Amino acid sequence: MKTILSKERIIHATGFEAIAILLFTPLMAWTLKTEVATTGALTVMMSLLAMLWNMVYNGLIDRYRTTERQHWRFRVRLLHGVAFEAGLVVICLPLAVWMLDLTLLQAFFMELAFFVFILPYTVLYNWGFDKAWRRWQDSKEPADSAALFSLRE
């Protein structure tokens, strides 16, 4: 059984959130007509929550999944991304209400709009990460001794 907190999960979550902060901080500031410092602080806090959620969520998925991620079809990836983001909305909603001085309904609609932008990023990032991680893992595997022997002939 895999552990919930693995090297793979830490690298995955850190890369995902670093890119998301760079992409979405200025977009959020522009959309909400607020200071980049404010949206930057919110984005970093949401990112920290998302990293924790990411490691727990994907760790649990890894523990119970029956097929390797690189073999997931698009439908499974989409469902995975939607479920992750829905959980994150529930977690981050109170933070957005507090930091941006919004009503719960306003924050919910803001999170919904954010969801529209982040979902494609989530699906594409996870697909790319899974492909890259598999290649990296394959490059670390020792060569098959029979294959090496046949190359020498």
The pLDDT value recorded for residue 148 is 41
pLDDT digits (tens, 9 = 90+) for 52-102: 898 889 888 888 877 777 778 888 888 888 898 889 889 999 999 999 888
pLDDT at 44 over 80: yes
The pLDDT value recorded for residue 50 is 84
Q: Where are the domains of the chain?
A: 7-152
pLDDT at 111 over 60: yes
pLDDT digits (tens, 9 = 90+) for 143-152: 554 444 444 4
CA angle 19, 25, 106 (to 5 degrees): 125
Confidence of residue 141 (pLDDT cuts 50, 70, 90): low
Confidence of residue 21 (pLDDT cuts 50, 70, 90): very high
The pLDDT value recorded for residue 145 is 45
The pLDDT value recorded for residue 31 is 85
pTM surpassing 0.75?
Answer: no
Confidence of residue 1 (pLDDT cuts 50, 70, 90): very low
In angstroms, the CA 125 to CA 12 distance is 9
In angstroms, the CA 87 to CA 92 distance is 9
CA atoms within 13 A on the CB side of 37: 0
Is residue 138 a contact partner of residue 146, using CB atoms and an 8 Å limit?
Answer: no
Measured CA to CA in angstroms, residue 110 lies from 1, 11, 27, 89, 135 at distances of: 38, 28, 12, 10, 37
Mean pLDDT, the chain, as a whole number?
Answer: 82
Percent over 70 (pLDDT), the chain: 88
